[in-house]
Structure formats: structure tokens, C-alpha cells
Amino acid sequence: MDIAIRTLRQSEMPLVIEFAAREGWNPGLHDAECFHAADPGGFLVAEHRGEAVGCIGAVSYAGRFGFIGLYIVAPDWRGRGIGRRLWAKGMARLAGHVVGLDGVPAQQDNYRKSGFSLAWQNIRFAGAARRSARTGGAPVVALGEVDFPALCADDRRIFPAPREAFLRAWIAMPDATGLAWMEQGRLSGWGLVRRCREGHKIGPLVADSPSVASALYAALCDSVPEGDTVYLDVPVPNADALALAQVEGLRSVFETARMYAGFAPACELQRLYGVTSFELG
């Protein structure tokens, strides 16, 4: 077959977002801009005579940690080896990196054959946004008011590599609300909710304690239309995060397996109540 694989240009990023939408992954309305900011060379497309038939994200963070995501072949083109070629190109781009991914559990065996090992499971929960009984006085501020280097330093506690360019774009995206919990000038928690094709997703949600996580979750839900569907992607090892989902009446709708090729990096999962993105980690 006449298949060419090349790097996506920024203007073409909506292609991969549309692929994800057709798979039912419910991307954010402005994910394309933020994903490209993470690594402008990190997204590949497979083409047949100018038609996009598949894609993969092979995003490099600081040249040492990589993440595979948005690995999709159009349904009519599956079974022809295009996925294998995309995978090979993506992994070659991340040679020398520790590489992570969030894959569906049914594909774990295939990823193991490529050198990946299971680190933990994630569950996507969904439920209706409810108005909280907050009366003010809580130390919640807009995320944009937080000292950006301090935010990046806190993010490094729950993510294996610096990702300043991505975070700068993520917290500034339209149709999103970012909030932080500040106590005596110290960042104790933060999160962001963004509009998606369907409803809103909260991610990340980071907190020093269950009470801070609960308060931020409520405040983020207050920023979206009441009754709208809200999604939260919870790492299963964080029992407090699972308890939050239960208290909020959320239901499990999807699962992924976090896997790594190479030594699994340190991550303070007890502070991570909501994964930023299954596509970028």
C-alpha cells in the first residue's frame, strides 16, 4: 500500500482530535492546541494518497520521558499493518525514553510484548454536576493567580517530567476553569475542568488531603451548568480518590491500564485524584 507517515503540522491537529471523537473518547474542545504545545513534533499521521488513515502521539517531555497516546487507525483501514508502522515510528521517536501509556485493559498483553509493564489501573467516573453548599471563605483562587513556577513544581510531584509549555497552554485554554487551594500562601491543591464534546472533564485534580480534593471538586462543578455530565479519571491505588467518586455518586464508565516501558517513574498517587489526560499522561 502507498502509506506515508509524517509529522502533523499544528494546523492539522484537529485531525487527531476528530479521530479520537469518532472512537468515543470525548476529547476537549481545545485539546488540539494544548497537545501540540506539549511537543510540536510529537504527533504522527499515516496517509494514503493524501487521506489521513491513522495517527499516534509520541510526546517527549524533556527528552527523557515519553507518552504514547491517540493511537488510532480508521476502522476501514484496520488489519493492514498501518497500526504496526505507526507504533514503530512512534516508539523510534521515543528511543532512550521511559515511555508511558494509558491503554484499554484488553490490550495489556499486546503492550507487554512491546516491553511495557502494568503500573496501575485508572477508572473513568461520570456523574451529574451538583451545586455545592459552599458559602465562601474557602481559600480557593483562580489557577491563573498561582505563581507559575510553584505550579510547575507541584505538577512534578504527580508527573514524571517537566511540562511547562503544556501546562501554560492547559491552564489558559478557553471554555475551562482552573482553581487552586491556597493556605497561608502555600499551594495545597489545584484542578481544572474543561468543556468536552460531551459534558466536562476534570483533570488534573491534585490535593494534599481528601478534604481539599472534595472542596476543589465541588468548586469546579459549581463552574459548569448544573446537571451537566462531569468526568473524573481516578488512579485506582488512590483509595481516597475512589471514595470521593463514591460520595459524589459517580459511576464507572471506562478503564485504562497505566503501563511503562522502562523503570516506572515516581509519582505521588496519594495526591492525584484526577489524571490530567489519558492521551498525554
Q: What is the pLDDT of residues 11-43, one digit of tens each?
A: 999 999 999 999 999 999 999 999 999 999 999
Question: pLDDT tens digits for 119-177?
Answer: 999 999 999 999 887 656 679 999 999 999 999 999 999 999 999 999 999 999 999 99
- What percentage of the chain carries pLDDT values higher than 90? 93
Answer whether 94's CB lies under 8 Å from 205's CB: no
* Domain identity same for 114 and 130: no
> Is 240's pLDDT higher than 70?
yes
Q: What is the CATH number of the domain that holds 82?
A: 3.40.630.30
Which residue in 159, 155, 78, 68 sits closest to 114, CA to CA? 68
Q: Does 202 reside within a domain? A: yes
Q: If you average pLDDT over residues 199-208, what whole number do you get?
A: 98
Mean pLDDT of the chain: 95
Interatomic CA distance for residues 194 and 30, integer angstroms:
9
- Of 102, 119, 136, the position where a domain reaches its end is 119
Looking at the structure, do residues 156 and 87 belong to the same domain, yes or no? no
DSSP label at residue 143: G
Domain that holds residue 225: 124-274
Element holding 53 (H helix, E strand): strand 51-61
- Given a cut of 70, whether residue 214 has pLDDT beyond it is yes
Is 115 inside any structural domain?
Answer: yes
Which CATH number characterizes residue 241's domain?
Answer: 3.40.630.90
Cα separation, 64 vs 70, in Å, equals 20
Output the CA–CA distances (angstroms, integers) from residue 275 to 9, 44, 79, 245, in the order listed.
Answer: 27, 24, 31, 13
Boundary (domain end) residue, out of 77, 95, 119:
119
Same domain (yes/no): 155, 266: yes
Cell of 129: 454536576
Burial environment of residue 145 by CB neighbours within 10 A (0 to 12, 13 to 18, 19 or more): exposed
| Count of structural domains within the chain | 2
52 part of a folded domain: yes
Q: Do residues 113 and 13 both lie within one domain?
A: yes
pLDDT at residue 178 in the model: 98
* pLDDT tier at 184, thresholds 50, 70, 90: confident
Residue 158 lies in a domain: yes
Residues 104 and 129 in one domain: no
34 and 81, same domain (yes or no) = yes
- Return d(Cα 178, Cα 142) in angstroms, integer: 6
Model confidence pLDDT, tens digit, residues 63-93:
999 999 999 999 999 999 999 999 999 999 9
Burial 8-22 (b: 16+ CB within 10 A, else e): beeebbebbbebbee
Are residues 172 and 53 part of one domain?
A: no
280 located within any domain: no
Domain finish residue from 78, 98, 119: 119
CA–CA separation, 121 vs 277, rounded Å? 14
For residue 138, the model assigns a pLDDT of 74
On whether residue 35 sits in a domain, the answer given is yes
136 and 108 in one domain? Answer: no
Q: What is the pLDDT of residue 137?
A: 62
The pLDDT of residue 217: 97
279 within some domain: no
Cβ 273 vs Cβ 217: under 8 Å = yes
pTM to 2 decimals? Answer: 0.94
Percent of the chain with pLDDT over 70: 98
Residues 114 and 163 in one domain: no
Pair 164, 228 in one domain: yes
Look at residue 136 in the predicted model and tell me its pLDDT.
61
Residues 136 and 259 in one domain: yes
Query: Per the domain annotation, does 92 fall within a domain?
Result: yes
Residue 9: pLDDT band (50, 70, 90) is very high
Whether 106 and 142 map to the same domain: the answer is no
Across residues 184-206, what is the average pLDDT? Answer: 96
Burial 249-269 (b: 16+ CB within 10 A, else e): ebeeebebbbbbbbebeebeb
d(CA 110, CA 274): 26
